[in-house]
């Protein structure tokens, strides 16, 4: 990743920011928006909480190892 310091803060090149916010299935959804996600061996409805962690829409348990968003 290319970054450079400016006034004590590291700035990331715009092209690199897009890489951080995308996955193999497209851009990440807005926090709290339920979407279908592909996990390791199954799919489920989930949303991202305030900390950006994936939560199962129905059980409200954290979803381990989300590989990507299938559909919004």
| Predicted confidence (pLDDT) per residue in 16-34, tens digit | 555 544 455 567 788 889 9
Q: Please check whether residue 7 lies inside any domain of the structure.
A: no
How many domains is the chain partitioned into structurally?
A: 1
Kindly state the DSSP code that residue 50 receives in the 8-state scheme. T
Q: Please check whether residue 69 lies inside any domain of the structure.
A: yes
Q: Please check whether residue 3 lies inside any domain of the structure.
A: no
Q: Please check whether residue 5 lies inside any domain of the structure.
A: no
pLDDT tens for 1-18 read 455 555 656 566 666 555
Q: Please check whether residue 40 lies inside any domain of the structure.
A: yes
R_g of the chain, CA atoms, integer Å:
15
Beta bridge partners of 56: 46
Q: Please check whether residue 64 lies inside any domain of the structure.
A: yes
Q: Please check whether residue 17 lies inside any domain of the structure.
A: no
Q: Calculate the CA dihedral of residues 13, 6, 51, 68 and round it to 10 degrees.
A: 10
The answer to whether the CB of 35 falls within 8 A of the CB of 46 is yes
pTM over 0.75: no
């Amino acid at each position: 990743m290319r970054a450079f310091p400016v006034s004590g803060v590291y700035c990331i090149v715009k092209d690199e920011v897009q890489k951080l916010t995308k996955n193999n299935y497209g851009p990440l959804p807005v926090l709290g928006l339920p979407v279908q996600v592909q996990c390791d061996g199954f799919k489920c409805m989930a949303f991202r909480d305030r900390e950006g962690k994936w939560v199962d829409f129905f059980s409200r348990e954290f979803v381990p190892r989300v590989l990507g968003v299938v559909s919004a």
